[in-house]
C-alpha cells in the first residue's frame, strides 16, 4: 500500500516536472534570455593587500587613524556611523584624552536642562557617532532622493566588503568608452544603459549607477604622517577603517583562534593515540 501510494505520488510529481522541463526548454529556445548590462558589465572588487588579510592579519593603527580622518573630513558629511562608540576609538591607539577631543568635535542630540527642549551638546566618549540626518525624509531631501547608508557595517554588508569599499571609491569612470574585461564597450552593447541624469557611473556598484558622486580626489585630505595624499591611499585607509568599524574584535578573534587551533591539533593527536592504545588488541 505504501509502495503503491508512493509510486502514484512520485509519478505525479515527475509528470508535473516533465511539463515544467518542456516549458523551460521551449521558452529557452523561443526566447533566449537577454543579457543585461548589470550582468555583463558589473566588475568584481579589486583585490587589495590589506594588513588584516590572512590568518595572522592585524589592523594597522596608523592606517585606521588616517581612515578615521578621511571619514571625519569627507564621508561624515552624509554617512553616519551609528553603531560605533567614541570610546571604541581607543583601539586605534588614541589616548583617553585624544578620544575625548575627537568626541567633542561631534554634536550629539540632547535636551536643554532648563527648558526640556531638544538641543545638542558636545559628544563624550560614552556617546556613539551621531546620526547625520534627523530621519530618512531629511536624508532623501538633501541627497537627490537617495539615503546615504550607515557605514558601521558596510564592510560586512557587501560581498568581499573591504575590497568593495576600496573599489567603489576608486572605481568612478567616464561611461563613454567604458569596456569590460572581455573588451566589449558598454554603450555600444547597451545604449539604453546610459547613466540617467543625477546618477554617477561606477562599474563596481551592483546597478552600475549610484547617487553618490565621486567623493574623494587626490589632495583632498591632508595627512599629517607623511603618507601621500592620493585617492588610492584615501580609499585604502577608509576601507581599512570601515573594516574595523564592522569587525572591531577581529584581532582578538584571530589570536584566540590560533590558540584554539593549536590546542585542538594536540587534542586530536592525543585522542587518536588513546584510540589506538585502547583498540590495540581488537581488530575492527
Partner 1 sequence: MSFPWAKQYEPKHPVMKWVDDRLPLPRFVYNAVGAGYPVPRNLNYFWNFGVLAGMFLAFQLVTGIVLAMHYAANAGIAFDSVEHIMRDVNAGWFLRYAHANGASMFLLVVYIHIARGLWYGSYKAPREMVWLLGVVIFLLMMATAFMGYVLPWGQMSFWGAQVITGFFSAIPGVGETIRVWLLGGFAPDNAALNRFFSLHYLLPFVIVGVVILHIWALHIPGSSNPTGVEVKSEQDTVPFHPYYTAKDGVGVGVALLVFAALIFFAPNMLGHPDNYVPANPLSTPAHIVPEWYFLPFYAILKSFTIDFIFPAKLWGVLAMFGSILLLFFLPWLDTSPVRSANYRPTYKWFLLVLLVDVLVLGYIGGASPTPGVILIGQIATVYYFLHFLVILPIVSAMERPRPLPNSITEAVLGGKGGTAQTALAAE
Taking CB under 8 A as the criterion, which residues in 65-94 touch partner 1? 83, 85, 88
Residue 10 within binding range of partner 1, rule CB under 8 A: yes
Closest CA to 52 of 63, 60, 43, 44: 60
Among 67, 123, 148, 161, binds partner 1 (CB under 8 A): 161
For the chain, count helices (H), then strands (E): 9, 4
Asked if 35 interacts with partner 1 (CB under 8 A), we say no
Q: Which is nearer to partner 1, 157 or 213 (CB)?
A: 157
Q: Which listed residue (11, 77, 213, 228) binds partner 1 by CB under 8 A? A: 11
d(C-alpha 284, C-alpha 279), whole Å: 8
In angstroms, rounded to a whole number, what is the distance separating the alpha carbons of residues 125 and 108?
A: 11
CB 233 → partner 1: shortest distance, Å?
A: 26
The one among 69, 152, 162, 243 contacting partner 1 by CB under 8 A? 152
Distance CA 71, CA 150 (A): 12
| Residues in 185-244 that interact with partner 1 by CB under 8 A | 206
Pick the closest to residue 169 from 216, 211, 201 (CA basis): 216
Report how far Cα 207 is from the mean position of its chain's Cα atoms.
Answer: 16
Contact (Cβ atoms closer than 8 angstroms) between residue 214 and residue 172: yes
Question: Which of 34, 97, 159, 224 is in the footprint of partner 1 by CB under 8 A?
Answer: 159
The answer to whether the beta carbons of residues 159 and 249 sit under 8 Å apart is no
Q: Which three cell numbers stand for residue 76?
A: 561624515
Ranges within 41-60 binding partner 1 (CB under 8 A)? 55
* Spatial separation of the C-alpha atoms in residues 95 and 65, rounded to whole Å: 12
Q: Among the candidate windows 72-80, 167-175, 215-223, 251-259, which touches partner 1 by CB under 8 A?
A: 251-259
- Which residues in this chain contact partner 1 in the complex, by CB under 8 A? 2-3, 6-7, 9-11, 13-21, 23-25, 27-28, 32-33, 55, 83, 85, 88, 149, 152-153, 156-159, 161, 206, 246, 248-249, 252-254, 256-258, 260-261, 264-265, 267-268, 271-272, 274-275, 278-279, 282-284
Amino acid at each position: 500500500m505504501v509502495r503503491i501510494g508512493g509510486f502514484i505520488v512520485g509519478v505525479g510529481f515527475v509528470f508535473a516536472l516533465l511539463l515544467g522541463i518542456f516549458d523551460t526548454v521551449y521558452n529557452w529556445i523561443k526566447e533566449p534570455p537577454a543579457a543585461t548590462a548589470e550582468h555583463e558589465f558589473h566588475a568584481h572588487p579589486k583585490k587589495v593587500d590589506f594588513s588584516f588579510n590572512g590568518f595572522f592579519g592585524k589592523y594597522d593603527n596608523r592606517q585606521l587613524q588616517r581612515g578615521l580622518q578621511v571619514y571625519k573630513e569627507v564621508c561624515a558629511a552624509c554617512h553616519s556611523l551609528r553603531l560605533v562608540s567614541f570610546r571604541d576609538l581607543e583601539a586605534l591607539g588614541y589616548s583617553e584624552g585624544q578620544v575625548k577631543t575627537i568626541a567633542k568635535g561631534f554634536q550629539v542630540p540632547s535636551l536643554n536642562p532648563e527648558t526640556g527642549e531638544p538641543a545638542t551638546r558636545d559628544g563624550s566618549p560614552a556617546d556613539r557617532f551621531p546620526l547625520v540626518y534627523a530621519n530618512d525624509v531629511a536624508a532623501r531631501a538633501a541627497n537627490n532622493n537617495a539615503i546615504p547608508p550607515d557605514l558601521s557595517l558596510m564592510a560586512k554588508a557587501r560581498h568581499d566588503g573591504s575590497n568593495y569599499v576600496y573599489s567603489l571609491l576608486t572605481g568612478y569612470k567616464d561611461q563613454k568608452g567604458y569596456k569590460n574585461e572581455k573588451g566589449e564597450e558598454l554603450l555600444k552593447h547597451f545604449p539604453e544603459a546610459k547613466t540617467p541624469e543625477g546618477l554617477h557611473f561606477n562599474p563596481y556598484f551592483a546597478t552600475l549607477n549610484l547617487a553618490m558622486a565621486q567623493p574623494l580626489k587626490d589632495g583632498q585630505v591632508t595627512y599629517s604622517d607623511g603618507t601621500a595624499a592620493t585617492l588610492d591611499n584615501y580609499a585604502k585607509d577608509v576601507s581599512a577603517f570601515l573594516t574595523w568599524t564592522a569587525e572591531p574584535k577581529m584581532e582578538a578573534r584571530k589570536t584566540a583562534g590560533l590558540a584554539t587551533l593549536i590546542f585542538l591539533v594536540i587534542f586530536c593527536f592525543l585522542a587518536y593515540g588513546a584510540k589506538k592504545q585502547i583498540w590495540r588488541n581488537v581488530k575492527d
